[in-house]
Structure 1
């Protein structure tokens, strides 16, 4: 989600580029866009790209309507340069995405129902005025807590509301259109817009959580409020004061009526008293509130802010510093209150540190012959607040409690095959096979180990033998590992390491074809007798792209630095 931090820089550099079409501005734009892409959250990049296209098309239309305009052939040429620079800088990530798509469950798209999961529900709009109320459970807030809050500051939102009654220029009309479009899109399946975008726009079928789009609604509100604030600064003080006070009185009335309604609800005061018993523990204090009692406290808090602002506006001499402090504090305070709901753990840092330190330090080589617990179905079990103990013990096991969607789809298929997992319940990390099969067998010969051959070519043959070989781990690095095996006959070595075509394998120093085994994992044919098997992950295309990216970044940085020195001298 940290990629959102670069979205304002993308639009700022695009604005500067359209206002002044220089190579420096083009490079700054491509760099900002690259940072957004490289942070790895596709939703923001995809939607930002569509907004950029809309802005460029709008600018091109203005170019043909009235001249002079920032859009010309020079702009188009420099924009092409910016795209090329972006592709060069981001080439390692682009190639990584491209190579991972065949393995990715969303590589071919997701259903419209999945794409509409976790929207910004219509009732979440209350967060524009009362931000933290939406963190409480309510029948109309059936979405993820992180998708409910769109608060930009009470006074910023009120300025935006006032701006709707003013006259917009053409660019402000575009900004309003993008803001409204983003709001409707963030609602998910509530309106037909999301389904239309899913069906028509490329890549809209690759991500979920339309509630994330509310971020663009918030940015549009802030920008339009800022534009209107500039207009207010040019108006007479009396006219400005009259408009703002009228809106403040209306909002105060609505909040006051809401607070009175909450006062007459059952157990509100009992809940508030119970919450204040935990006042020394901020998270427990906030968690204790119910929706209604928290709604009451938020209404009272916002009314207090409005009263303070109205008092300042009614003074003969306006103190701008106090006004600015009120606006800033109103925005920041409710942001701070939101943090315990989403980012604060139920456990103290010292408790977590003590738990982590109770395990062996470093990363010792794993026991290659220990069971991976393939038969343990943990998706429905109660998960410890600390997570999985095997993560801290560094024990390699099959993990089927899937949280992230960026997972190998074949691994998901393996986890779903409970019959196969049960048959391999006591299998180690690596083993020598007695037989290969094409699918999960109905019954197994006692004492025999097997693997499913999942490759595209003919199934390798295994020589029957009663001798059991041994597998030993002799080397273990982040990008490679080495095994020593001594089978009594030619066979296939299988390992619970997820298959990827960039893995290379050598047997006794000679490169050998990598086999796909057991739906999602790897294997290799090994001869009889003592052999050294080395697995190395070597993404050749990505490595080449990394060098291209480094060289491009160096050239861009050098050009920008030299341009800055040149402009200073002038």
Structure 2
């Protein structure tokens, strides 16, 4: 409860809907979930998303099957729902680290402290726009904790806990985290098996139980995620986001200069690519000045603590090595030789694993500060280091600072980089001096409690400074934005898709919806454009061909003869659009067959029925669909129903509920 309250209050601009998330949250995550919510309200599975890039098989994306998001979507999905989902996962992340730290025998007060710290790090604030990354950071500690408990106890409860949390990570998280966590679990399994064979007594019986139950875990996990596995594997060659070249794989690396955000997070306000080199979301590793100083102190004066917890130290070091994809060769080697590492970008994502390790190591360091007198002296030296840093910056950038100060602005995003570093260093000096003064005057007050209070106060305060200048827009009120999502009744377009061109639909959506880039989603109309990380290779080919202009100037559905559009005097169309289905009543007034063209991407999951008889769908216009239309009146139904999906959905649901029931019963 303490953790949840602390997280909710610290993130008050989001939790109280005072400010809005922005960027990818508005342009990708919210429209996707808005579409999924609409499908669920129609009692349909979210299979085909017609509103972006002339249609996409949404079921391919694992996040389409994320249960917590479905539950929140019962009454529809808006930007307010997104805020709620974001804050819930912040709390889940903090609670996960709290239980992990207790398992690592860290004191309860220190566990609460590092749990709150973890959820307030630069990773969570910087990636507020990337809900998949937030979900990954929430479930990863829980997955690892459950699996470690399972390898130590072989218990069915922790086996089920691992399987359930793995499912939530797999369906809600980002691909890079999912692949990495599975590899991590394999390493833990092999290490535990090695210990059983070399250290444990009566190892034969234990090894047998361990292997059998591990195989059961694999079996349950495959059953539960069978829908996701089949959806991805059967479509992987169709989508543009397939195998990437090395340059693309290393995009979004962490650079050595980014480690300065440990000590000066507000300096990341300035999106100076000549200095930071990376995107503002990917460079922030802030975990608190006190946190880093405590760890440095322990490294210098209590090194045996690092030897004792060498696994955490190794996790931190190796994670940062992987994160520095362009600067160090390890990520390149993994991309070339380790399966599945060539399917995701952003090496900087590995800083999340490092932050988990740092958080747990911080708890041990707080609990094992051997000399408070020595620690106070160390902080005095830290103050001196910050003073030297300020003097150095002023000496090197004196003229630039004078010029800037003469034109001083109160907008941090417009401040010079050097000035922000100086402000941050002054803040750190003031905080450290205040802590030293309070400890001097406190007398009998527990110094450990005082340190934790200052640590939390600092990271909460700095979080408030980072919110407005990262991915939270304080100028936009979510309630006001929601009112701008004008969902209009568009009888003149939805039911007359044979009359209005795709270009006209695009103009209409831009006119009526003033929110985000994927406006067509909110209107429920077909669009040839979208801001999305996924699209079909065939559509990309069409988009790069001159034929796309011809398609844009045609209606969503039209009739042609020998590739020439037929005048509407010779046919009529009545249209119905439902989830995963397009229906047309077509009157072909000619005495010969014509071609009915549908501006939706061809996919093997489409089935077409003309007068209740299944007909062959032809691939036309590079990536789109057409059928032969007989003379006279025809009832045409395009239904998107990929094979096995509904069976696998039922199997996945039943397996998940079965495991959930026995997890709480055991």
TM-score range, shorter chain: 0.7 to 0.9
Q: How does 1:332-343 map to 2 (within 5 A)?
A: 332-343=460-471
Name the counterpart of 1:53.
186
Q: How does 1:17-166 map to 2 (within 5 A)?
A: 17-68=150-201, 72-107=207-242, 109-138=243-272, 139-165=274-300, 166=303
Moved more, 365-374 or 194-203: 365-374
Cα separation, 2, equivalents of 1:219 and 1:250:
28
Change in Cα spacing, 1:272 to 1:53, as seen in structure 2 (3 Å) is: farther
Q: CA deviation at 1:13?
A: 0.8
3-state secondary structure, aligned to 1:145: coil
Q: How does 1:273-288 map to 2 (within 5 A)?
A: 285-288=411-414
Cα separation, 2, equivalents of 1:155 and 1:59:
35
Q: Is 1:522 matched with 2:625?
A: yes
Cα separation, 2, equivalents of 1:520 and 1:392:
25
Name the counterpart of 1:452.
none
Name the counterpart of 2:615.
512
Give CA-to-partner distance per residue, 1:522-558, whole Å, 9 cap, x none. Answer: 2222211111110111134121111111211222122
Q: CA deviation at 1:145?
A: 0.9
Q: CA deviation at 1:393?
A: 4.8
Name the counterpart of 2:587.
486
Cα separation, 2, equivalents of 1:53 and 1:405:
29
3-state secondary structure, aligned to 2:494: coil
Q: CA deviation at 1:182?
A: 1.1
Corresponding residue to 1:251 among 340, 357, 382: 382
3-state secondary structure, aligned to 2:365: helix
**CA contact under 8 A between 2:143 and 2:165: conserved in structure 1?**
yes
**CA contact under 8 A between 1:3 and 1:41: conserved in structure 2?**
yes
Give CA-to-partner distance per residue, 1:336-375, whole Å, 9 cap, x none. Answer: 3222223223544455345333x62589725312111399
Give CA-to-partner distance per residue, 1:151-205, whole Å, 9 cap, x none. Answer: 1222222233234351257772232222211101111121111111111111110
3-state secondary structure, aligned to 1:190: coil
Q: Is 1:241 matched with 2:381?
A: no
Change in Cα spacing, 1:25 to 1:268, as seen in structure 2 (3 Å) is: same
Corresponding residue to 1:325 among 437, 441, 453: 453
Name the counterpart of 1:175.
312
Give CA-to-partner distance per residue, 1:450-497, whole Å, 9 cap, x none. Answer: xxxxxxxxxxxxxxx999643524321122120122232212211111
Give CA-to-partner distance per residue, 1:200-246, whole Å, 9 cap, x none. Answer: 111110001111111111111112222233333xx4xxx2431x234
Q: CA deviation at 1:425?
A: 4.1
Q: CA deviation at 1:23?
A: 0.6
3-state secondary structure, aligned to 2:599: strand
Name the counterpart of 2:435.
309
Cα separation, 1, equivalents of 2:340 and 2:482:
41
Name the counterpart of 1:453.
none
Name the counterpart of 1:443.
none
Q: CA deviation at 1:147?
A: 0.4
Name the counterpart of 1:439.
none
**CA contact under 8 A between 2:320 and 2:351: conserved in structure 1?**
yes
Q: Is 1:431 matched with 2:550?
A: no
**CA contact under 8 A between 1:373 and 1:425: conserved in structure 2?**
yes
Name the counterpart of 2:542.
414
Change in Cα spacing, 1:520 to 1:171, as seen in structure 2 (3 Å) is: farther
**CA contact under 8 A between 2:506 and 2:520: conserved in structure 1?**
no
Q: Is 1:559 matched with 2:662?
A: yes
- Normalising by structure 1, we get a TM-score of 0.83
**CA contact under 8 A between 1:375 and 1:424: conserved in structure 2?**
no
**CA contact under 8 A between 2:299 and 2:306: conserved in structure 1?**
no
**CA contact under 8 A between 1:180 and 1:217: conserved in structure 2?**
yes
Corresponding residue to 2:144 among 11, 18, 43: 11
**CA contact under 8 A between 2:495 and 2:575: conserved in structure 1?**
no
3-state secondary structure, aligned to 2:275: coil
Name the counterpart of 2:648.
545
Q: CA deviation at 1:75?
A: 1.9
Name the counterpart of 1:228.
365
Q: CA deviation at 1:59?
A: 2.1
Name the counterpart of 1:459.
none
Name the counterpart of 2:326.
189
Instruction: Please say which structure displays the higher CA radius of gyration.
Output: 1
Cα separation, 2, equivalents of 1:171 and 1:96:
44
**CA contact under 8 A between 2:148 and 2:188: conserved in structure 1?**
no
Name stretches of at least 5 consecutive residues in structure 2 with no aligned partner: 1-132, 508-512
**CA contact under 8 A between 1:503 and 1:535: conserved in structure 2?**
yes
Q: Is 1:472 matched with 2:573?
A: yes
Name the counterpart of 1:356.
485
- Normalising by structure 2, we get a TM-score of 0.71
Name the counterpart of 2:344.
207
Name the counterpart of 2:426.
300
Corresponding residue to 2:638 among 535, 541, 545: 535
3-state secondary structure, aligned to 2:577: strand
Cα separation, 2, equivalents of 1:375 and 1:114:
34
Q: CA deviation at 1:270?
A: 7.2
**CA contact under 8 A between 2:557 and 2:597: conserved in structure 1?**
yes
Moved more, 30-39 or 334-343: 334-343
Cα separation, 1, equivalents of 2:665 and 2:477:
49
Q: CA deviation at 1:4?
A: 1.8
Cα separation, 1, equivalents of 2:494 and 2:202:
64
Q: CA deviation at 1:308?
A: 2.5
**CA contact under 8 A between 1:371 and 1:427: conserved in structure 2?**
yes
3-state secondary structure, aligned to 1:203: coil
More helix by share: 2
